[in-house]
Structure 1
Amino acid sequence: MTSPQAPQSVIPPLFAGLCDDAAVFPPGDLPLTEALPAHRAHRTAWYADLVGPFLVAAGRLGQLAEQLEALPGESGEPLAVGLIVPDGSKGLEPALRRVAADPRLRLAGLEVLADQGGSAAEGVRSVRAELDRLVPELAPGAPVAVEVVRGPDLLLALDELEGGPYRAKFRTGGLTAEAFPGELELASFLYGAVYRKLSFKCTAGLHHAVRHEDPATGFAHHGFLNVLLAAHLALGGAEHPELAAALREREGQVLAAALAELTAEQTAAVRAAFTAFGTCSIAEPLADLAALGLVAIPPS
Structure 2
Amino acid sequence: MSELPPGGAVPELFRGLFDDAAVFPPGNLPVADAVPAHFAHRAAWYAEAVGPLLCGAGRLGELAAAVSGGTATSGDAAVSGGTAGAGDAAGAGDAPLRIGLVLPGGSAELAPALAAAAPFDLAGVELATRDAAEAIAELDRLLPPHVPAAVELPRELLRGDGLDAVLDTLVDSPYRAKFRTGGLVAEAFPDEAELAAFLTGCAQRGLPYKCTAGLHNAVRHTDPETGFEHHGFLNVLLAAQETDPATAAAVLAERDGEALAKAVRALTDHQVTVVRNSFTAFGTCSIAEPLGDLAALGLLSSPAPQHQEDR
2:98 is the alignment partner of 1:80: yes
Distance 2:37 2:201 in 1: 36
Q: CA deviation at 1:8?
A: 9.2
Distance 1:164 1:34 in 2: 37
2:135 is the alignment partner of 1:127: yes
Q: 1:141 is matched with which residue: 141, 146, 158?
A: 146
2:178 is the alignment partner of 1:160: no
2:210 is paired with a residue of what secondary structure?
A: strand
Q: CA deviation at 1:197?
A: 1.2
Distance 2:228 2:93 in 1: 41
Distance 1:87 1:155 in 2: 24
Q: CA deviation at 1:193?
A: 0.9
What one-letter code is carried by the residue in structure 2 that aligns with 1:111? E
Partner of 1:287: 292
Matches within 5 A, 1:69-218: 69-72=68-71, 73=90, 76-100=94-118, 102=119, 105-114=120-129, 116=130, 123-135=131-143, 139-151=144-156, 152=159, 153-218=162-227
Q: CA deviation at 1:148?
A: 2.1
Q: 1:274 is matched with which residue: 260, 265, 279?
A: 279
Partner of 1:120: none
Distance 1:204 1:35 in 2: 17
State the Cα deviation string for residues 87-111 of structure 1 (Å, max 9, x = none).
11111111011112x2xx1001110
2:252 is the alignment partner of 1:247: yes
What one-letter code is carried by the residue in structure 1 that aligns with 2:173? G
Q: CA deviation at 1:266?
A: 1.2
Distance 2:8 2:242 in 1: 27
Distance 2:100 2:273 in 1: 22
What one-letter code is carried by the residue in structure 1 that aligns with 2:294? L
Q: CA deviation at 1:233?
A: 2.5
Distance 2:247 2:97 in 1: 41
2:235 is the alignment partner of 1:232: no
2:55 is paired with a residue of what secondary structure?
A: strand
- Structure 1 residue runs of 4 or more that deviate by more than 4 Å after TM superposition: none
Indicate the structure whose relative CO is greater, using CA pairs within 8 Å and at least 6 residues apart.
2
Give the length in aligned residue pairs.
Answer: 277
Q: CA deviation at 1:9?
A: 6.0
2:282 is paired with a residue of what secondary structure?
A: strand
Q: 2:231 is matched with which residue: 200, 216, 222?
A: 222
Q: CA deviation at 1:32?
A: 1.1
2:255 is paired with a residue of what secondary structure?
A: coil
Partner of 1:3: none
Q: Which runs of 5+ in 1 are unaligned?
A: 1-6, 117-122
Distance 1:149 1:181 in 2: 12
State the Cα deviation string for residues 208-237 of structure 1 (Å, max 9, x = none).
000001111010100000000101223xxx
